[in-house]
Amino acid sequence: MTALSVSTSSAASLRADALVIGVAKGPKGIVLAPGAEAVSEAFEGKLAEILSTLGATGAEGEAVKVPSPAGLKAALVLAVGLGDAAEGSYELEALRRAAGVAARALAGSKKAALALPAESAEETEAVALGGLLGAYAFGTYKSGGGKEPVGELILLSTRKGSKDAKAAVERALVVGEEMNRARDLVNTAPNDLNPKGFAAIAQAAGKEHGLKVEVLDEKALLKGGFGGLLGVGNGSTNPPRLVKVAYTHPKAKASLAFVGKGITYDSGGISLKPAGHNETMKCDMAGAAAVFAAVVSAKRLGLAVNITGWLALAENMPSGSATRPGDVLRMYGGKTVEVLNTDAEGRLVLADAIVRAGEEKPDVIVDVATLTGAMMLALGSRTFGVMANNDELRSTLHTASGEVGEQSWPMPLPPELRKGMTESTIADLANMGERMGGGLVAGLFLKEFVAEGTDWAHLDIAGPAFHEGAPFGYTPKGGTATAVRTLVRFAEQKAAGGKA
């Protein structure tokens, strides 16, 4: 992974392959952002003019390279756009994205210095995290490993020695590393990541970071009556797993349960997905990857909160042993579900895990899942939906996501949509309801398995979990690690005594 360090050296004196500055769109042309003063002096005050001549506008996502003059030790100056010029501080997300653009543009370089606005601890963290995420590359299957990311990012900051700046950089390192771990999991080919393999990765991380990890294999799941996990996994030669990853803190005053959907490959089962819909279904375990990364992050950051992650892992395949439409599954806890569509499998594995998580009586349960195409139709490919049985909890998670740069939108759970699922003539519930509002129906299904009196929220990350377009900002093509930052921020709030 790209190394990160902080320096108080002047931009002019630092030796690097490239020196990164920020530029913005002003009313009369481009404006140099704070941090670029020494660089501008080296260009005798003509840097903005030169960049404009080269076509720079300061727009977000823009990157323009200029050879350095004699007054700079770096070989190259890279100007990245921040969007509209700010009268005061720049938005943190603009800084994250600009740092990400710079890191992507400088792939293959050994050392790059970031002279972006970083006066406050929050700005320092934003630049550091954006750079680490932008430098991400997944070259496991490329001959020769693919193009190497930038080797080292040096963050220029006047706050290097301050306690809050040190904590900000440490937080960026932890969250960045764990997000990139989640991205690796999502990007790994499904023939190399099945439920057993994912469980082994969790066990290894548990030993490394001092987490308690328990794995229920197919025999334990059968003995325990986990009909949802077993029903989904029946058609695969790779049996399901339920993994518990627990972090406890001696001063914790709150306990959280994070539940992640971990379908390591989703063919749709007997209700086979149509052509063109299978190619990216290795990403259907992104919820479990996010939960896993969030729990490890909490441990590494030493948050004063107890968190248990539940990874509901299965592979959904068609075969002679696969669950059929019309079958009835007896879920963990005793409820029965008529399976009308085997491609609505995520809610089945989550239901088992939610009931199991509720037995430990956490203060809050939050599940994370690439659950429905309907949510993508509703909110697009960059925004996830937030549903909850508690309006304050839903609002808290929505606000938390915005604070860390993740786009979300609060969604309702209309009680009238429940009727379609409860009209099964042979079971307590059907795993399908009305077609319209399918993302909300899925949320209502999960709500049926939440223990009475337990606050619960559901994050449907189907849209932003896997990016199929061109990279932008710090977001690569492929796995994005969506929801990790939201979960970590929520855990930090609970550790600080915040209400749901």
Two tokens at 144?
Answer: 């020769």
What DSSP designation does 472 have?
B
Q: How far apart are the C-alpha atoms of 239 and 102, rounded to whole Å?
A: 43
Q: Which of 25, 282, 347, 485 is catalytic?
A: 347
Give 155's contacts (C-beta < 8 A, 6+ positions apart). Answer: 4, 5, 6, 7, 114, 118, 124, 127, 128, 131, 169
Q: Where does 273-386 have alpha helices with state H?
A: 286-301, 346-358, 373-379
Query: Could you tell me if 80 and 22 are in contact, meaning their C-beta atoms sit under 8 angstroms apart?
Result: yes
Q: How far apart are the C-alpha atoms of 221 and 169, rounded to whole Å?
A: 42
Q: Which of 166, 196, 273, 330 is catalytic?
A: 273
Query: Could you tell me if 216 and 199 are in contact, meaning their C-beta atoms sit under 8 angstroms apart?
Result: no
Radius of gyration in angstroms for the set of CA atoms belonging to the chain, rounded to a whole number: 24
What DSSP designation does 220 have?
H
Residue 332 burial (CB < 10 Å; 0-12/13-18/19+)? Answer: buried
Q: How far apart are the C-alpha atoms of 368 and 459, rounded to whole Å?
A: 5
Q: How far apart are the C-alpha atoms of 228 and 333, rounded to whole Å?
A: 11
CA nearest neighbour of 442 among 473, 400, 413: 413
CA nearest neighbour of 298 among 121, 175, 474: 175
Q: Assign residue 244 a region (left: φ > 0; alpha: ψ between -120 and 50; beta: otherwise).
A: beta
The full DSSP string for 16-42 is -SEEEEEEEEETTEEEEPTT-HHHHHH
Q: Is 273 a catalytic residue?
A: yes
What DSSP designation does 273 have?
P
Query: Could you tell me if 51 and 30 are in contact, meaning their C-beta atoms sit under 8 angstroms apart?
Result: yes
**Bridge partners, residue 4, by sequence:** 153
Active site residues per annotation: 273, 347
